Structure 1
Amino acid sequence: MPSSRIRRAWLSAAAAAALAFTGLAGPATAKDLPPDEPGSWIQEPRATEGALPAFGTRAAAVPGGAASPGDFTLSPGEMNAETTERVSRLASVLPESGVQDLLAAANRPIEPGCSRDPFAAAPDPAVKYCLKDDDSVSREWVPQGFTGVSDAKANEFWGAAGKIQLFASYDGWDPGRESDPNPAAGDCTAAELEDNDACNQKGVRITFVQSRTNPATGSPEIKYRHVLLGWTYVNSADHVSFDGLHAGEYPIQKGVHAGGIVWYGNYLYVADTRGGLRVFDMRLIMDLDPDNDPSTHDPMGTDSDGVKTTADVEDKTKVGRHDNVWYSFGYRYVMPQVAAWKFKAAQSNPKGSYACVSTGAPKASYISLDRSTVPDRLVMGEYCRPESGYPSTGRIASYPVAALEGRSSDVTAQGWANYLPLANGGAQGAAAYKGTLYVNESKGTDEPGNLWRYQWSDGRLVQNGQAVKTARGAEDLYVERGTGRLWSLSEHRPGSADDCRANPGPGDPAGADFCQRVLYAHDLSRLDSRP
């Protein structure tokens, strides 16, 4: 059965309250719901769950030492062919937008050199960008992965679009990023559904950031635009449709965390923690408001039924096709998943835990790209917190990234893998460049994170210099080769469980700005010169 997770996003507040314990569809939208056959709505990759190894046989994990690269082997998603057909069908109905057109419609300004300070006593970065206030403190969207045009192209140019960076955010409110089989344990009350749209389960969004000189004014500007990631399916009325990005591995995974992203050529790779990788195509970004006037409800194309459709980007409570109208949780742009890679080995990590087994399928907690090697490689690593019986500090390995474009056979890691030299684990991101591995270690909301530098020596990762203090809540890493900068972003916000006001900084005694999110970059030359 489709979970209440999917259905809840399409119900009104009253209907959701009335039907929360039944999982039944409201009559007004019954024909638009996903069908009950699992193969037609489930999203890949799905983790194969294995038994935990016996306590006395769990492999030792030596920080910095060698791990098994064979555990990282990826297999093409079983639904890739079906996904291709569905996306092709969707593209025949919805108009497409290129990256440059999307950036031309960027609608949210960034404030460079802003006063918000998640660094406290840590050294100031070379560059700091502030998001708009709502994005900076949003309970709903939590930023994670980071990439950019320096990953995408060897020459770091994407047409005339200028400098481009991308970051990913997962829907952290829960509008229910989990397919909990017990609808009574649903995360959104009827009052919350009525109050705003945040209890819709939106999954993951990608934010495109552009730095350029405005051609009309001649002045420099930095703007950004959010794009919803989607998954296509054929609904019960035999219409192609889409939903937000979800995962079906509850309770071992509560959703696609998007802890790392890599843009390479035309493709965007998104880390799927327990599964592997989700793949998106930059040439297949759907535009549901081509005239840039939300009130006009632009005409869309026709599906196989020949019925004319329109789009509504004003209504933030629905997604996909409903009664011949397309919705997208209010987002103008939607990018559907085109393929998946899943771990060949079974997932034997503890359920709902940050502890990690030392062998078997890893967790795809973060990914990055290394263009300083031949061939270019995609680096993947784990977020782990060692505990009794689970000594792993997190493994890291790499793949020849070009091999991931084929999707016809398994892709193996490049003959090496290591446990990270972090005694307490906690790696949130890692990037390799010119023989150095940079690792962001999170220290939670209580103190700035650590940025570590490691190098390989006789197959081991060894520490190179002391940790550099960095932002509180430091996340994924991205190397921008042309500027010689190492980019990241902070995930925390003031208030609730991420309340950083308990530890305000010296320049902000009230703590009001201390943990509002920023994008930031360190100069690699300055990092590498530190003791």
Structure 2
Amino acid sequence: MDTTRRTILRGMAAAPVAAAVGGLALPTEAAAAAGKYRLKGRSAPRWAPGHSYRSVINRLSPLLGGPVPVAEVLTRTPALEAKRIPHWPTRDDDDGTKPRPDSEPEELLHAFRWADTDFFTTEWRPQGITTNYDANGSAPRTLLVSWYGRLGARRQGARISIVKWDAAGEPTYQHVLLVEPNRVRTEESEHDDFIGTDLHAGGIAWYGNKLYVADSTETRPGLRVFDLSRIFKVTRGPGVGRQPDGTYQAYGYDYVLPQCYAYDASGSATKGLTFSQVSMDRTGRRPALLVSEFTGAHCRLARWELRGERSGYLHSVKSSWEGTANGEDGVQGAVRANGKYYFSASRTSKNPGELRSWSGGTRRGKRESFLNIGCEDLSYSRMNGRAALWSLGEYANDESDDRRAPFSRYVYAVRP
């Protein structure tokens, strides 16, 4: 996992102009509170503070035909077809060659692979995962997976896949580009617009209608918030944002999901924390976000409590708990369940990853089982009384330092 993404799109934004804030009520701009880790809310782009995300989205909505519900994204345009896998394939199953196989995760409950276009591409890598169980506690029927663009797709930023999940059928999915609303001024006019993001999207968490995306950029770490009730259909085309003919495009995608808020690290201590992943934690008195980091010989974690699902925003910008899991490195995802913390830890492109547990305190956790090579984020759910940990693999045999890396780009659930 890359821990930082260079800001490549900031220069695409034009100079800001003044406007009134509109739309639904947002959390107030909170001053930094006392505490080890703190965040500061932000409702507009840094380069255009006079234009809130919400006001730009509200003005864009009628131009884009209004929002598309999550459930309809897969029906308004042809969905891609994933393939359920009853057992863990080796590379031999995919292209006829036979290097050393990947390790099958233990206690495998469900697994599927992406359509060929996404299974083999080297321009996008899947990273984060969350389900509607995170959103509202119901049995998983919809999965969200984040990807970051690299190579030729780097300037596009990040996308999510909305996956229709059914334990008895084949999954279907649709990609949605993450965008940042923007107000643009030209010599001739000014208009509402959007650009791509520069997110690595290493972890995501769905709560109510809000999607939280970890922002691990060194210069402005924190969390970005996207409103899943405001997905919009755009005109398919190679550009991004408003085009000369007045239509809106998104690098060939049919849908965009605009950013509606952000929480930036505040204070030197918090800015030293890498916001590598984020997950939902429903084990405390309030639902909370659990942030964990990939870097270092130890994994630092912090929890921020949330308001109710209708709001979806943070209850406080001050962390309610902080901890350090000694000796845990390479952590790609962390969840709290069954009185423990579970980590997915990657071990390069040469070795299987590990599912590890930690009960708090100063002692190092233990390995519960192996995961696939290139394992990524974690999300906890329950379905039919059965607990599951969802994870996914990022590699598509594209590692320059190890051409033997097996195709392991699967989405799967294991028993904790």
Could you say whether these structures have the same fold, taking a TM-score greater than 0.5 normalized by the shorter chain as the test? yes
Which of 150, 157, 161 is 1:172 aligned to? 150
Contact 1:366-1:381 within 8 A present in 2 as well? yes
Q: CA deviation at 1:453?
A: 0.7
Q: TM-score, normalised by structure 2?
A: 0.81
Contact 2:157 2:197 in 1 (8 A): yes
Unaligned runs of 5+ in 1: 8-22, 24-32, 41-68, 157-161, 177-200, 214-218, 247-255, 289-310, 348-358, 387-392, 504-513, 525-531
Residues 339-360 of structure 1, C-alpha deviations (whole Å, 9 max, x = no match)? 111111137xxxxxxxxxxx75
How far 1:79 sits from its partner (Å)?
A: 2.2
- Quick one: distance in 2 between partners of 1:450 and 1:408? 31
2:263 matches 1:341: yes
Q: Tell me what 2:355 maps to.
A: 451
Q: Is the 8 A contact 1:73 1:410 kept in 2?
A: no
1:75–1:409 contact (8 Å) kept in structure 2: no
SS class of match (1:448): strand
1:264 to 207, 216, 221: 207
Q: Which amino acid aligns with 2:142?
A: I
Is the alpha carbon distance of 1:409 and 1:132 closer, same or farther for their aligned partners in structure 2, counting shifts above 3 Å? closer
Please tell me the root mean square deviation across aligned C-alpha atoms, in Å.
2.9
The 3-state SS of whatever aligns with 1:97 is coil
Equivalent-residue separation in structure 2 for 1:372 and 1:410 (angstroms): 17
Assess if the C-alpha contact under 8 Å between 2:396 and 2:409 holds in 1.
yes
**Same amino acid, percent of matched pairs:** 28
1:211 is matched with which residue: 165, 169, 179?
165
1:498 & 1:166 partners in 2: Cα distance? 30
Equivalence map 1:42-441=2 (5 Å):
70-77=35-42, 79=44, 82-95=52-65, 96-105=67-76, 107-113=79-85, 116-117=89-90, 120-124=102-106, 125-156=108-139, 163-173=141-151, 175-176=153-154, 201-212=155-166, 220-235=169-184, 236=186, 237-246=189-198, 256-274=199-217, 275-288=221-234, 311=235, 313=236, 315-316=237-238, 318-323=239-244, 324-346=246-268, 361-386=272-297, 393-402=298-307, 405=311, 411-414=317-320, 416-422=321-327, 425-441=329-345
Deviation at 1:498, TM superposition (A): 6.3
1:46 maps to none
Q: Which has the higher strand share?
A: 2
Cα deviation 1:111-167 (Å, max 9, x = unaligned)? 1116534872454422221111121121111111110100011234xxxxx711111
Separation in 1 of the partners of 2:380 and 2:210? 18
> Is residue 440–residue 449 contact of structure 1 (8 Å, CA) maintained in 2?
yes
Moved more, 264-273 or 320-329: 320-329
* AA partner of residue 141 (structure 1): W
* CA distance 1:234–1:519, shift in 2 (3 Å): same
Q: Does 1:515 align with 2:416?
A: no
Structure 2 counterpart SS, 1:35? coil
CA distance in structure 1 between the partners assigned to 2:312 and 2:323 by the alignment: 26
- CA gap 1:417/1:90 in 2 versus in 1, 3 angstroms: same
Is residue 443–residue 473 contact of structure 1 (8 Å, CA) maintained in 2? Answer: yes
Could you give the per-residue CA deviations for residues 358-393 of structure 1, whole angstroms, max 9, x where no partner exists? x7541110011122332112100111134xxxxxx2
Query: How far, CA to CA, are the matches of 1:241 and 1:360 in structure 2?
Result: 30
Letter in 2 for 1:73: R
* CA gap 1:122/1:98 in 2 versus in 1, 3 angstroms: closer
User: Whose RCO is larger (CA < 8 A, sep 6+)?
Assistant: 1
- Is 1:488 paired with 2:391? yes
Per-residue Cα deviation, 1:218-252 (whole angstroms, up to 9, x for no partner): x8331011000111112223111111112xxxxxx
**Compared CA separation, residues 211 and 77, structure 1 to 2 (3 A):** same
TM-score, length of structure 1 as denominator length: 0.64
Cα displacement (A) at 1:515? 2.4
Contact 1:206 1:226 in 2 (8 A): yes
Higher helix share: 1
Task: Say if 1:220 and 1:228 are closer, same or farther in 2 by CA, change over 3 A.
Answer: same
Aligned twin of 1:468: 369
Deviations 1:78-131 (A, max 9, x none): 627611111111112112200111133461111111653487245442222111
**Relative to structure 1, is the Cα distance of residues 364 and 515 closer, same or farther in structure 2, using a 3 angstrom cutoff?**
same
Please give the alpha-carbon distance, in whole angstroms, between the structure 1 residues aligned to 2:145 and 2:368: 25
Q: Aligned to 2:14, which of 31, 35, 45?
A: 35
Quote the Cα distance in structure 2 between the aligned partners of 1:175 and 1:227: 14
Q: Secondary structure at the match of 1:221?
A: coil
Q: Distance in 2 between matches of 1:408 and 1:110?
A: 34
Judged with a 3 Å threshold, the aligned counterparts in structure 2 of structure 1 residues 452 and 88 are, in CA distance, closer, same or farther, namely: same
Distance, in Å, in 2 between the alignment partners of 1:260 and 1:346 is 23
Deviation at 1:461, TM superposition (A): 5.3
Shift of 1:450: 1.3
Question: What amino acid maps onto 2:410 in structure 1?
Answer: V
Q: Answer whether contact 1:373 1:434 (CA < 8 A) is retained.
A: no
Maintained 8 Å contact 2:179/2:258: yes
Supply the distance in 2 between the matched residues of 1:344 and 1:4 (Cα, whole angstroms).
19
Residues 38 and 469 of structure 1: CA distance in aligned 2, closer, same or farther (over 3 Å): farther
Secondary structure at 2:373's aligned position in 1?
A: coil
| TM-superposed deviation, 1:467 | 4.2
Q: Following the alignment from structure 1 to structure 2, what is the Cα–Cα distance between the partners of residues 492 and 261? A: 19
- Superposed displacement of residue 475, structure 1: 0.6
**Alpha-carbon offset, residue 463 of structure 1:** 4.6
Is the 8 Å Cα contact of residues 76 and 408 (structure 1) preserved in structure 2?
no
Secondary structure at the counterpart of residue 442 of structure 1: strand
- Name the amino acid aligned to 2:247: V
Tell me how far apart the structure 2 counterparts of residues 325 and 466 of structure 1 sit (CA, whole Å): 52
Write the letter of the residue equivalent to 1:242: F
Q: Which amino acid in 2 is paired with 1:440? A: S
> Residue type of the partner of 1:332?
D
1:402 Cα deviation after fit: 2.0
- 2:334–2:343: 8 Å Cα contact kept in structure 1? yes
Q: Name the larger-Rg structure.
A: 1
